[in-house]
Structure 1
Amino acid sequence: MSQDDIEASKAPLIEHLIELRQRLMWSIAAILVMFVICFYFATDIYNILTIPYLRAVGEGHPVEMIFTAPQEWFFTQLKLALFGALFLAFPVVASQIYMFVAPGLYKNERGAFLPFLIATPILFLIGACLVYFLVMPMAMGFFLSQEQLAGAGQVAIQHLAKVSEYLGLIMVLIFAFGLVFQLPVVLTLMGRAGLVSSEDLKKKRKYAIVGAFAAAAILTPPDPISQIGLALPTLLLYEVSILSVRLVERQRAQREAEREAEDATA
């Protein structure tokens, strides 16, 4: 390769790096704006997140939460603001990723990539809703059932939640369920790339069952409600992934048949 060819190849690379920097700056700016907004409403957001706890306690029962260090509530608000900013800014970040990648894709590839980009936040939101409306109230009900009233020969054992620990619990569950709900997207993309097939996924179903419960044991707190609540949807999503990969295979076979027919008539 001549020196002129080397110099010519530098120009497109520099242009890509400039564009990448621009996309990153827009993404970071969106996260910062959402962070400021979420921090301003941090107390309101936290009160919304405590609704599953209130449901588990029951109506008419006062609920108290504490913080044991002077800076604990402030740092809890910062974590909450970052959590909300990442969630709310995801559409902007995803659009910046798409605009950076799209020029290097063919038209049919762009059309295939876009649905996965849209499905990702939707599936994450479904997983978060499952935590908020079902798993978290059931898990908190299980935890609160461990309390003990004072009586003859026994002491009172009561739960007094810390603001940081409760936020950490619900954030871990939301992220765990949100990530696991990306399983159909990941496996379908792997199917499009030819890395997996529907038959392979069927044969490995028994391993998927073991893996689902193992992942639930790692990603969730050590209580049966959270673990079963994550493992069962994971198995359902695995079955959905098999159907999705099978659909991809049928579409690929149809395109190949049409291409062969065109070659035969040419």
Structure 2
Amino acid sequence: MSEPESPDDGEQSFISHLVELRERLLKAVAAVLLVLLPLLFFANKLYGWLALPLIRHLPQGGTMIATEVASPFLTPLKLAFFVAVLIAIPFVLYQLWAFVAPGLYRQEKRLAVPLLVSAVILFYIGCAFAYFLVLPAVFTFMTHVAPAGVAVMPDIGHYLSFVLGLFLAFGLCFEVPVVLVILVALGVVTTEQLASSRRYAIVGSFVIAAVLTPPDVLSQTMLAVPMCLLYEVGIFGARTLTRTEPKASSSTDG
């Protein structure tokens, strides 16, 4: 007969978890800093690449300006830090996974790994979609609707905030399939409920796009349509999960 676990054992286990969490966090921060250091030498070039979608659509003689004294120095550094975090995301998520994985069941582990990988890939795709397709369309619209006699000279700091916000919006909205699969896996909804709510999802996609994008129909459509398509991808992925999950569980029981 095993002896009951003493309070000291529980406290020791809690402290060991805190120590491991601290080590995982330090590794994640170290990974971001390790990527950031070389990027600092190319911070101005990174900003130049980020500004290309705007610069290409500025009217002749238009240019970007810096309205704050430290903006020419701090703005590229902020961009370099964002890029470093973006590059280090897989390693950061791996550290998170390594911390929580020992407490998960085998079926949960089998589901979590592809979901984490899919979430990272979809976030990257969302950012790339925003950079290569949405930003040129947005700035084409913005520069053409400027009133006569108004010089279009965006501030570099405001431009960075605008673009990063757009990246974040598209990156998160492209996570729709992952969210749907998780909801079905947790039993919150069923695939039949998702399919029957398709019309509401379409309306919701256009409402979200209207809130997150600039006030032009083109950019709103360019966010809403992929969200609707990704909704269908999420339903398909959830259906595949529900078909394969009973087989997997029965094989483990045997």
* Matched pairs, number: 252
Instruction: Tell me: CA distance 1:144–1:252, structure 2 relative to 1, closer, same or farther (3 Å).
Output: same
- What SS class does the counterpart of residue 243 from structure 2 fall into? helix
Q: Which segment drifts farther, 69-78 or 41-50? A: 69-78
Q: Which segment drifts farther, 75-84 or 91-100? A: 75-84
Instruction: Tell me: CA distance 1:15–1:52, structure 2 relative to 1, closer, same or farther (3 Å).
Output: same
Query: C-alpha offsets along residues 51-100 of structure 1, whole Å, 9 cap, x if unaligned?
Result: 22234348xx5552101121222331232122112201111101101111
Structure 1 segments unaligned to the other structure (5+ residues): 150-155
Match of 2:209 in 1: 216
Instruction: Tell me: CA distance 1:207–1:4, structure 2 relative to 1, closer, same or farther (3 Å).
Output: closer
Match of 2:231 in 1: 238
- 1:196 pairs, out of 189, 200, 203, with 189
- 1:161 pairs, out of 151, 154, 163, with 154
Q: Which amino acid aligns with 1:196?
A: V
Instruction: Tell me: CA distance 1:57–1:160, structure 2 relative to 1, closer, same or farther (3 Å).
Output: closer
User: Taking structure 1 as the reference length, what is the TM-score of the superposition?
Assistant: 0.86
Match of 2:108 in 1: 109
Aligned Cα root-mean-square deviation (Å): 2.3
Asked if the contact 1:120–1:182 (Cα under 8 Å) also holds between the matched residues in 2, the reply is yes
| Seq. identity, % | 38
Task: Report whether the alignment pairs 1:226 with 2:219.
Answer: yes
- Listed as ranges, the matches of 1:60-75 within 5 Å are 61=60, 63-75=62-74
Asked if the contact 2:134–2:219 (Cα under 8 Å) also holds between the matched residues in 1, the reply is yes
Cα deviation, residue 174, structure 1: 0.8
User: Taking structure 2 as the reference length, what is the TM-score of the superposition?
Assistant: 0.90
Asked if the contact 1:36–1:81 (Cα under 8 Å) also holds between the matched residues in 2, the reply is no
Q: Distance in 1 between matches of 2:65 and 2:252?
A: 67
Q: Which amino acid aligns with 1:179?
A: L
Structure 2 segments unaligned to the other structure (5+ residues): none
Match of 2:6 in 1: 5
- 1:248 pairs, out of 236, 241, 251, with 241
Asked if the contact 2:46–2:76 (Cα under 8 Å) also holds between the matched residues in 1, the reply is no
Query: C-alpha offsets along residues 187-213 of structure 1, whole Å, 9 cap, x if unaligned?
Result: 111211222211111122222122212
Instruction: Tell me: CA distance 1:13–1:116, structure 2 relative to 1, closer, same or farther (3 Å).
Output: same
Match of 1:153 in 2: none
- Listed as ranges, the matches of 1:44-59 within 5 Å are 44-57=45-58
Q: Which amino acid aligns with 2:104?
A: L
Q: Which amino acid aligns with 2:51?
A: T
Query: C-alpha offsets along residues 154-188 of structure 1, whole Å, 9 cap, x if unaligned?
Result: xx223111111221221111110000111111111
Match of 1:14 in 2: 15
Q: Which segment drifts farther, 139-148 or 218-227? A: 218-227
Match of 2:139 in 1: 140
Q: Distance in 2 between matches of 1:68 and 1:257?
A: 65
- What SS class does the counterpart of residue 50 from structure 1 fall into? helix
Instruction: Tell me: CA distance 1:57–1:202, structure 2 relative to 1, closer, same or farther (3 Å).
Output: same
Q: Which segment drifts farther, 72-81 or 134-143? A: 72-81
